Chains A and B, each alone.
Chain A
Amino acid sequence: MQSAQTAFENIRKDFPILERKVRDNKTLVYLDNASTTQKPNQVIDAINDYYKNHNANIHRAVYALAEEATELYEKTRDKVANFINVPNRDEIIFVRGTTEAINLVAYAWGRTHINEGDIIVTTEYEHHSNIVPWQLLTQEKGAKLEYIGMDDNGELILEDLDKYLATGKVKLVAFSLMSNVLGTISDSEAIISKCKEAGVLTLIDGAQAVPHMKVDVEKLDCDFFAFSGHKMLGPTGIGILWVKKAVLETMSPFHGGGDMIREVHKYETTWNDLPYKFEAGTPNIADVVGLGAAIDYLTKIGMENIREHEIELTKYALEKLSQVKGLHIYGTKDISKRGGVISFNFADVHPHDVAQIIDEEGIAVRSGHHCAQVLMERLNVAATSRASFYIYNTKEEVDKLINSLNKVAEVFKL
C-alpha cells in the first residue's frame, strides 16, 4: 500500500475523461459518483486486452483461448472474495448489478421462503432497487413490507426494527450500508445483531459503501450482500451477489439455461454446483475482467486511504456549502456516520434548474429523486441536488462547485 499522499497525487492522470472539456470549453468537474464513477486506463485497457487477445466463451471449450478467458473470469471471482473478505469463492455470483442481485434474492430465495403473513423489513432511505423487488414479492405472497423509519438527522430509528422483530413474523431485513442520497452509514452491527438474536436473515445493499470504504463481509455476518462494479471504477453491467452458503443451498435457480445445469433430460434437469447454478447463459466475461482490474486499482490505493481522502473532501465541502446563504444540506453532520454524498436544496430553486445552470460551468451533479422517492416523501421534497465524491475529486473542484452556485443565486436573484 502506498502512502495516502503519493496515492492521490497522480490519480487524475489515469482517468482520460477528466481531461475533457464540456459545454463552453469548461474543464469537467465530475461530482456524480454515487450514480456511476469514471474509469481509469487500467480498466479500459483490461477490457480492450480481453477482446483483442483472449475473447472466447468460458467453462466448456478446451482450446487455448477458452482456457485463458475462463482463467481471467474465475480469477476475478477470487479477487472479489478477497476484496470483500469472504472465505468461500463459491458463494460469489456474478450478476448485472445490485438491482439484479436483489431481484435474484427476491425471486430465488423469496419465492421459496416467504409465505402469507410473513414480514420483510426495509428502510425509508433505500434505493428503489431495495424496495420494489420486495413489494413485488410481498404482494405476490400476501406478505407484508414494513419500513424502519429515519429521524431528522438522516439516521435509522432502530426501535422500529425492534417493534417488527417482536411480532415473530419477520423473515428478512434488507438495508443499505450507505444511503445513496444522504450518505448515512447504517449501524449494520446493531441491525444484524438484533436480527441474529431473532433468527432473521439480513440482506445488505453495499452499492454505495463498497467503493468507498473497507467492507468485511465475514465480519458483518449478514446473509446476502450485493454491490455493483460501475460505482467502483469498473464497467457497467457487472455486479456481485454474495450469499452465505447455508442459505444459498436452500435457494431455487433464478434463470434457467446453459451453464447452470448438470444434466438436462426431456422432462427434468439437475443443477450445476454453486455458484454456477445461478449464472445461466454466457456471462458478461469482458466486464468481469474489467471489474478485476478495478479491484486491483482500488486495492493498490488502499480502501482506508480512499475513505480518509473522502472524509477530508466531504468535511471541506460541508463546511463550504453550509456558508452558502439559503442552502439546505440534508443528513447528519457527523462525518464518521456519512460517506462522500451530499444532498442539498438551494433556496426555492428547483434542483433541475440548479443542475442546469452549473452544468454551464462544466459541473456535473445529479438532480432529482435519486431513485429514492420514499425518502423524498419522508424529507417532504420533490427532489434534491446531489454532489458525490470519489478518489479523483479535489478541494479545487469543491471550490468550483461553490462558485457555480453563486451563478445560480445571480440568475434566480436570491
Chain B
Amino acid sequence: MSNADIYHEMIIDYSRNPVNYGKLEDHDVTYHDSNPLCGDSIDIDMKIDDNKVSDIKFHGKGCAICMACSSVLTEIAKGKDLDEVKNISKNDVLSELGLENLQAVRIKCALLSLKVLKYALYSYLGKHLEGDQDVDKLKEEAANLY
C-alpha cells in the first residue's frame, strides 16, 4: 500500500467528523493514555449495563489515523457484551478502514484507542469481577498491543 493511499475518503471523513466523540459524565469506567513520541492522547469513557457496553465515547487529540480508528473502535464496541469487547482484535479495527498494511511507525496512531479500551475494560473487570482469569490476559494484551 502506498502511504498516501491511507488517506482515503473514510479516514478523512472520520477525522473531520469523529463518531462517539465527547465525554460521558455518568461513565462506569474511564481510561486515558498517550503515545509519548507523537503526543496523540485519547480518553475513553464507558457506561456498562447488564454486562454490555451501553454507551461509549472518546475524546482527545490525534492525527487523522488516530481519530478515525477511535471512531471505528467505539462503533464496534457500542452495545456489545463485555466478552465480545474483550476479543476485539487489532485487525477488527484496521480492516474496517483498510489499514491492514499500515507502516510500523503509524500503527501506534491506529491502535492507541484499542489499547485504552483494553485497559479501561481491564480496570473495570478488576474492580467488578474479582478473580476473573481474563483480567490478567487482558492487561497483558493491552500492554503488548504495539
Residues of A within 8 A of B (CB): 23-24, 348-353, 356-357, 359-360, 367-369, 373, 376, 382-383, 407, 411-413
Decide if B38 touches A359 in the complex (CB within 8 Å): no
Residues of B within 8 A of A (CB): 2-4, 6-7, 12, 15-16, 37-41, 61-66, 106, 109
Q: What is the minimal beta-carbon distance from A383 to any residue of chain B, in angstroms?
A: 5
Q: What is the minimal beta-carbon distance from A180 to any residue of chain B, in angstroms?
A: 16
Q: How many angstroms from the CA of A359 to the CA of B2 in the assembled complex?
A: 11
Decide if A356 touches B39 in the complex (CB within 8 Å): no
Decide if B4 touches A411 in the complex (CB within 8 Å): yes
Q: How many angstroms from the CA of A299 to the CA of B51 in the assembled complex?
A: 70
For B109, what are the chain A residues with a Cβ–Cβ distance below 8 Å?
352
A-B contacts, 26 listed (Cβ < 8 Å): A24-B2, A349-B64, A350-B15, A350-B63, A350-B64, A350-B66, A352-B63, A352-B106, A353-B7, A353-B63, A356-B3, A356-B6, A356-B7, A357-B7, A360-B3, A369-B38, A369-B39, A373-B39, A382-B39, A382-B41, A382-B62, A383-B39, A411-B4, A412-B7, A412-B12, A412-B64
Decide if A357 touches B4 in the complex (CB within 8 Å): yes
For A349, what are the chain B residues with a Cβ–Cβ distance below 8 Å?
64
Decide if A356 touches B12 in the complex (CB within 8 Å): no
For A411, what are the chain B residues with a Cβ–Cβ distance below 8 Å?
4, 7, 12
Decide if A23 touches B63 in the complex (CB within 8 Å): no
Decide if A383 touches B3 in the complex (CB within 8 Å): no
Q: What is the minimal beta-carbon distance from A400 to any residue of chain B, in angstroms?
A: 16
Q: What is the minimal beta-carbon distance from B103 to any residue of chain A, in angstroms?
A: 9
Decide if B65 touches A353 in the complex (CB within 8 Å): yes
Q: How many angstroms from the CA of A367 to the CA of B63 in the assembled complex?
A: 11
Q: What is the minimal beta-carbon distance from A25 to any residue of chain B, in angstroms?
A: 12
Decide if A356 touches B2 in the complex (CB within 8 Å): no
Decide if A413 touches B41 in the complex (CB within 8 Å): no
For B61, what are the chain A residues with a Cβ–Cβ distance below 8 Å?
382
Q: How many angstroms from the CA of A305 to the CA of B27 in the assembled complex?
A: 61
Q: How many angstroms from the CA of A140 to the CA of B41 in the assembled complex?
A: 29
Name the residue on A nearest B34 (C-beta).
A382
Name the residue on B nearest A383 (C-beta).
B39
Decide if A383 touches B38 in the complex (CB within 8 Å): yes
Name the residue on B nearest A371 (C-beta).
B37
Known interface pairs A350-B64, A411-B12, A412-B12. Does A368 touch B4 (Cβ–Cβ under 8 Å)?
A: no
Most buried by B among A24, A353, A369, A373: A353
Decide if B39 touches A353 in the complex (CB within 8 Å): no
13 additional A-B residue pairs with CB within 8 Å, beyond A373-B39, A413-B12: A23-B3, A350-B66, A352-B106, A352-B109, A353-B15, A353-B64, A360-B2, A360-B4, A367-B38, A382-B39, A382-B40, A411-B4, A411-B7
Q: How many angstroms from the CA of A329 to the CA of B92 in the assembled complex?
A: 39
For A351, what are the chain B residues with a Cβ–Cβ distance below 8 Å?
63
Name the residue on B nearest A24 (C-beta).
B2
Decide if B2 touches A368 in the complex (CB within 8 Å): no
For B41, what are the chain A residues with a Cβ–Cβ distance below 8 Å?
382
Q: How many angstroms from the CA of A353 to the CA of B40 in the assembled complex?
A: 12
For B15, what are the chain A residues with a Cβ–Cβ distance below 8 Å?
350, 353
For A382, what are the chain B residues with a Cβ–Cβ distance below 8 Å?
39-41, 61-62
Q: What is the minimal beta-carbon distance from B58 to any residue of chain A, in angstroms?
A: 15
Q: What is the minimal beta-carbon distance from B108 to any residue of chain A, in angstroms?
A: 11
Q: How many angstroms from the CA of A360 to the CA of B12 in the assembled complex?
A: 17
Decide if B3 touches A368 in the complex (CB within 8 Å): no
Name the residue on A nearest B5 (C-beta).
A360
B37, B65, B66, B106: which contacts A368 (Cβ < 8 A)?
Answer: B37
Name the residue on B nearest A382 (C-beta).
B61
Q: How many angstroms from the CA of A24 to the CA of B1 in the assembled complex?
A: 12
Q: How many angstroms from the CA of A8 to the CA of B107 in the assembled complex?
A: 40
For B7, what are the chain A residues with a Cβ–Cβ distance below 8 Å?
353, 356-357, 411-412
Q: What is the minimal beta-carbon distance from B33 to any residue of chain A, in angstroms?
A: 15
Q: How many angstroms from the CA of A214 to the CA of B94 in the assembled complex?
A: 50
For A360, what are the chain B residues with a Cβ–Cβ distance below 8 Å?
2-4
Q: How many angstroms from the CA of A349 to the CA of B66 in the assembled complex?
A: 12
Q: What is the minimal beta-carbon distance from A408 to any residue of chain B, in angstroms?
A: 9
For A350, what are the chain B residues with a Cβ–Cβ distance below 8 Å?
15, 62-64, 66
Decide if B64 touches A368 in the complex (CB within 8 Å): no
Q: How many angstroms from the CA of A383 to the CA of B12 in the assembled complex?
A: 19
Known interface pairs A24-B2, A353-B64. Does A368 touch B38 (Cβ–Cβ under 8 Å)?
A: yes
